[in-house]
Chain A
């Protein structure tokens, strides 16, 4: 008997899911059994159906609700994370409160993970028994509505983040774009050419950067990081640390005299990938947005020794401020997009390729800078000595990816990138090029055509993962060269190929701090460290946390077109949310029954969202439903049983336990 004394009339629906479930679970038997054995619990209709999630399957539920006067629905099918919404809608279309529906996952938890048909069928029965026992205690719930703040926080100013920010800003909503480095642009700003069309990277990126910099709806925070995030979908509050630039932005004209005069030269490990130098006061590159420099206090002579101040002396507008401090800025936003990008694999770890020991072994990012017209060599492909043009170049694919010693996954961009490198070497130096690959992977518009173009250009493609690169010559031909030792697997012989230069197509890796970022925003990372999307196929830019979206390489290795597409997709999702003005939240909340509350305050300190407040006058606790996130910890902790957790009440869980174990009890009784 339920609380409101209404007799439960339950419909049970067992899905075949084609053969996904029916191949292992005897679904017809389960459906018949449910009607026979669970009749006393209130089951009046029990059916099996090929695809419950199809419109016909949903209509079946709606029809039964009306015809059989059902008031509760149990669907035994896939995981509720996939179709709970579908069946709640069907239940609602039938005229019931959508929360009078419960899903039992007999696909993910039964048919896909077990092979013994008899045992699987039995397990499905007990799980349905649990679901039926639980739903008896379901109550109609009303979703909560909360307003959505129209502003959006975009974290990461690479191409994906820029795209997302522009789409939202163009739709007329405010965006806060936060970038850790002094300028937006990300990795794309470091490249010279983009595959397969060989567009100039800067030519297509710079206009977007400028647009983002000037857009009236975009607040740009560069040299800044998000430090704290509170709140929930529609109503987040983020704290941004704006690191001290030591430059007064309002006064700086971006003339560049400070950089010119600064006496301290530093190896630029970020933008130049360690291949070039910058000053201690710098903008990372000429087209930087914004164009204000920053003073790198770790290397600045003044901060090291207390004297210098050359920049201050020469600045025509007195914009240098050595006393400037970090600023903490608090912003209110409704949605968040994380586009934090990737780090390049540290190729020094592959000691057999000699990076870091052999001068003329370069990483892919170093090579990008080498070919870039604004790079350290003005775009000339030369050896580490800065002058010699190589006569032969080896490009090694899959360095640190597709390798269980480092990263198991395919970095997806390396093949195309390596082909681009081969092309640039042909074009700029006429050198002989060897590409060492395991498999050539070119799925993408115009990609395989590009591969064939490189074949035509005379690139030497050698199928084999390079075993080692050494400078230990065995004969005069190898003297003074880098020797690539590899099995040419198509010939079946070991070969030693002497070259002048090696380029390592290093893997894309999750940002070193990806795990901390995930924690900060309350979303999770895969075992590798990539941020996890809500569904790998059908919901690639949303996350498990409402209001937080991901785009670009933060989600996994991808090329520029895909990063742009994801940035735009995330933006579209956010714009849709903003336009609805409010969002319905799952009504899974805790509430205190005042009469039962003894005022012990045990629950008060348990809530991480500060949702529980204590009324000193009445000596009772109360839960603010807007702040409560529904975890249920206080429900479990209340010694007086005074806290109710909707959707997961004690009655619901305890009955489910009973239902799950019903078959066991019957077996024990017949013993």
Chain B
């Protein structure tokens, strides 16, 4: 894969109530956006365990998108604030690990904001394309090195 036509792979976490439905809405309205993001549905952005993010990077994702309801609109009162806190923490940890903090993005999107979801995804993909592929994977022994982490969690 040459860097000129590098297409990033991005894992996106959405909450069941707002951002997943924003993605649904973008679909229903046939809004086109970059195909690089693969979504995982959680009930709430508060469910986002930082391990999920590290796992995604370990397995070859170039970036991670975290999305949830707007502050104040959380289906579970205020759990998205917890996601916000973890997001800032993860940014710090990632940069300590040598990963550019621009590789994770937090996006608030309500169920009505399909257009915002679509355009923000495309923007993020452009941004990650600029950054280029994540090389951390290979430098650190890649997947093999990350495996034990999974075992710990599963155990």
Contacts and interface: CB of A to CB of B under 8 A. Distances in A.
Interface stretch (A8-16, A291-299, A468-476, A645-653): A645-653
B65 interface: no
B111 A665 contact: no
A460 interface: no
Interface stretch (B69-77, B91-99, B100-108): B69-77
B128 interface: no
A115 B31 CA distance: 10
B42 interface: yes
A545 B11 CA distance: 27
Contact of B153 (A109, A641, A645): A641
A661 B24 contact: no
A22 to B, nearest CB: 16
Contacts of B1: 667, 671
Nearest to A111: B27
A664 B40 contact: no
B35 A108 contact: no
Interface stretch (A164-172, A420-428, A522-530): A522-530
A660 B40 contact: yes
A588 interface: yes
B77 to A, nearest CB: 4
B47 A661 contact: no
B43 A113 contact: no
Given A113-B31, A114-B35, A665-B143, A654 B150 contact: yes
A524 B30 contact: no
Interface string A627-667: 00111110111000100010110110110111011001101
Interface residues of B, number: 58
Given A519-B73, A653-B42, A660-B40, A108 B59 contact: no
A661 B59 contact: yes
A525 to B, nearest CB: 7
A115 B96 CA distance: 38
Given A81-B21, A113-B118, A665-B143, A658 B59 contact: yes
B6 interface: no
Contacts of A526: 112
A81 B30 contact: no
Contacts of B82: 606, 633, 636-637
Contacts of B30: 112-113
A522 B47 CA distance: 18
Interface string A89-131: 0000000000000000101111011111001100100110010
Given A109-B23, A631-B43, A661-B11, A123 B154 contact: no
A114 B76 CA distance: 32
A470 B137 CA distance: 70
Contacts of B38: 123, 126-127, 130, 660
Contacts of B26: 108, 113
Contacts of A641: 153, 155
Nearest to A525: B112
Contact of B9 (A107, A524, A630, A664): A664
Contacts of A57: none
Contact of B17 (A105, A108, A544): A544
Contact of B59 (A127, A544, A608, A657): A657
Given A109-B23, A653-B40, A119 B79 contact: no
Contact of B110 (A80, A130, A524, A648): A524
A668 interface: yes
Interface string B106-150: 000011110000100000000000000000010000110000001
A636 B47 contact: yes
A228 to B, nearest CB: 12
A79 interface: yes
Contacts of B88: none
B27 A112 contact: yes
Contacts of A635: 47, 49
Contacts of A527: 110, 112-113
Given A657-B11, A665-B143, A650 B47 contact: no
A669 B44 CA distance: 34
Nearest to A134: B40
Given A519-B73, A660-B11, A654 B55 contact: yes
Interface string A619-633: 000000000011111
Nearest to A656: B40
B61 interface: yes
B58 to A, nearest CB: 9
Interface string A366-400: 00000000000000000000000000000000000
Given A109-B27, A532-B112, A544-B111, A645 B118 contact: no
Nearest to B110: A524
B60 to A, nearest CB: 4
Contact of A112 (B28, B42, B69, B111): B28
The interface centre, meaning the residue of A110, A647, A650 with most chain B CB atoms within 10 A of its CB, is: A650
Contacts of A108: 23-24, 26-28
Contact of B111 (A80, A120, A532): A532
A119 B24 contact: no
A115 B32 contact: yes
Contact of A665 (B51, B60, B113): B60
Contacts of B77: 608-609
B31 A661 contact: no
B147 to A, nearest CB: 10
B87 interface: no
Contacts of B20: 79, 81
B63 interface: no
Contacts of A631: 43-44, 46-47, 75-76, 79
A79 B42 contact: no
Contacts of A660: 11, 38, 40
A582 B115 CA distance: 39
Contacts of B27: 79, 105, 107-109, 112-113
A623 to B, nearest CB: 14
Contacts of B155: 641
A650 B35 contact: no
A651 B46 contact: no
Given A657-B59, A661-B60, A633 B44 contact: yes
Given A524-B111, A545-B75, A608-B79, A632 B153 contact: no
A626 to B, nearest CB: 16
20 contacts: A105-B23, A105-B39, A109-B39, A110-B35, A123-B38, A130-B38, A518-B73, A525-B112, A606-B82, A608-B77, A608-B79, A633-B44, A633-B82, A636-B48, A636-B86, A650-B49, A653-B40, A657-B56, A668-B137, A668-B142
Interface of A: 79-81, 105, 107-110, 112-116, 119-120, 123, 126-127, 130, 518-519, 522, 524-527, 532, 544-545, 588, 606, 608-609, 629-633, 635-637, 641, 645, 647-648, 650-651, 653-654, 656-658, 660-661, 664-665, 667-668, 671
Given A113-B118, A606-B82, A632-B46, 14 more contacts: A79-B27, A105-B39, A114-B33, A522-B75, A608-B77, A636-B46, A636-B47, A636-B86, A650-B51, A650-B153, A656-B40, A657-B56, A661-B9, A671-B1
